[in-house]
Amino acid sequence: MDEVLLRRLTPDVLAVLVRRGADFAAAEDAVQDALIEALRVWPADAPRDAKGWLITVAWRKFLDATRADAARRRREDRVEEEPPPGPAPSADDTLRLYFLCAHPSLTPASAVALTLRAVGGLTTRQIARAYLVPEATMAQRISRAKRTVSGVRFDRPGDVATVLRVLYLVFNEGYSGDVDLAAEAIRLTRQLATAVDHPEVAGLLALMLLHHARRAARTAPDGSLVPLAEQDRGRWDTRLITEGVGVLQAALARDRLGEFQAQAAIAALHADAPTAEETDWPQIVEWYDELARLTDSPVVRLNRAVAVGEADGPRAGLAALAGLDPSLPRHTAAAAYLHERAGDAATAARLYAEAAHKASNLAERDHLTRQAARLNTRGARSR
């Protein structure tokens, strides 16, 4: 059974139920029940009209739940099972769902969970596993999120930027549990791009495609991190790169630059270099300048300093770094790298060890520890 196809139908089915008058929270529960039933039944007996099947079953689940509620208050006869089919769900319906699930009243974690379930069609269990929390906790997180947005009117458009931030968070979670969240984020961003014509949606899609293209090269067989400069570029996915560059160029042509387009442009320049040495660093620095203007983010300025180090030499990079807050994440790691390039192995080794101590994730800590060890043992041998 094609689980991705099943998930792709989720927002449409949900939109149909909401159109028929079901409130969002109840409709979402009903769609989830229908998806779980599909996962159970379809492997043995797949319907010809998958969407029709889902709508019928979800509507029945909704009626059952409503009736169970109503039965507590009064006994009643069977209600009409199948209302006349409404108009087919439109791109606007899908878009509204994205806005609702990323509503600014939600915390980022709640928006991510609700988006993955209501738009992505993932089960609560899958989302719980992906984020390494108990299923009961995730179920509560989702139902709280639904309560939070229950008063939000479903017909008003929101800010596409909030939706993009949620999708970006999902993408960055990468691969965990039995769900490939990066691939899921790409799927949802693609779907969004068909529903709304917005250069930043395209920018985010391009960014994701270009980064996803490097995935196979990003980790060694033992799971350790491979830095960009050392990646086997033959293992980059050229099909994804071509697509990403195409999407980006079309977006840039609209002349409404945004941060995701700028980030994608940097990723595209890396993708364009046949070897690390041939990277167009001056142009990357220019894009970082652009990005700094758009976001005013200290993390961007940190990345810019590293790029300056490649374009104009490590001393220039260290000078750019000197103006930044040393408590920034990865500041020490960047300093270590630039000092090594400047020929000061002892300082670099000390800073790599310090950066490892400060790292917030395992793969990065191990990578930085190895860098320190490499320099320390090389020093010992030469002495």
Partner 1 sequence: MAKYLLLKHYRGAPDPVNDVPMDQWTPEEISAHMRYMHDFAARLEKTGEFVDGQALAPEGEWVRYDGEGRPPVTDGPFAETKDLIAGWMIIDVDSHERAVELAGELSAAPGAGGKPIHEWLEVRPFLTASPGVTECH
In sign, the C-alpha dihedral spanning 103, 98, 258, 299 is positive
Stretch that binds partner 1, among 57-65, 66-74, 234-242, 360-368 (CB under 8 A): 360-368
**CB 109 to partner 1: min, Å:** 4
Q: Does 375 bind partner 1 (CB under 8 A)?
A: no
Instruction: Tell whether residue 183 is a contact of partner 1 (CB under 8 A).
Output: no
Longest dimension (CA), the chain: 91
Stretch that binds partner 1, among 71-79, 146-154, 204-212, 369-377 (CB under 8 A): 204-212
Which helix (H) or strand (E) element contains residue 111? helix 108-114
* Size, binding site for partner 1 by CB under 8 A: 49
Residues 71-130 that bind partner 1 (CB under 8 A): 107-110, 112-113
Tokens, residue 84: 């006349």
Q: Are 76 and 37 in contact (CB under 8 A)?
A: no
Tokens of 1: 């059974």
**Binder to partner 1 among 21, 83, 227, 379 (CB under 8 A)?**
227
Contact 261, 251 (CB under 8 A): yes
Q: From the list 25, 36, 41, 133, which residue makes contact with partner 1 (rule: CB under 8 A)?
A: 133
Minimum Å distance from CB 338 to partner 1?
Answer: 14
Candidate list 55, 101, 138, 164; residue touching partner 1; CB under 8 A: 138
Is residue 220 a contact residue for partner 1 (CB under 8 A)?
no
- Burial of 304-325, coded b for 16+ CB within 10 Å and e otherwise, reads bbbbbbbbeebebbbebbeebe
CB neighbourhood size of 360 (10 A): 8
Give the count of beta carbons closer than 10 Å to the beta carbon of residue 205: 26
Structure tokens at 281: 């660093």
Let me know the angle formed at the C-alpha of 351 by 346 and 353, rounded to the nearest 5 degrees: 100
Name beta bridge partners: 180.
175
Site string for partner 1, 241-260 (x = CB under 8 A): --------------------
Binding of residue 344 to partner 1 (CB under 8 A): no
Closer residue to partner 1, CB minimum distance, 158 or 174: 174
Q: Cα(22)–Cα(25) distance, rounded to whole angstroms?
A: 8
State yes or no: residue 146 binds partner 1 (CB under 8 A).
no
132 near partner 1, rule: CB under 8 A: yes
Q: Applying CB under 8 A, which part among 60-68, 194-202, 244-252, 299-307 lies near partner 1?
A: 299-307
DSSP letter (8 states) at residue 175: E
Q: What 3-state class would DSSP assign to 298?
A: helix
Neighbours of 152 (CB within 10 A): 17
Q: Which is closer to partner 1, CB of 21 or CB of 134?
A: 134
Q: Does 34 help bind partner 1 (rule: CB under 8 A)?
A: no
- List interacting residues with partner 1 (CB under 8 A): 107-110, 112-113, 131-134, 136-138, 140-142, 144, 168, 171-176, 182, 207-208, 211-212, 215, 225, 227-228, 263, 266-267, 270, 299, 303, 306-307, 330, 359-365
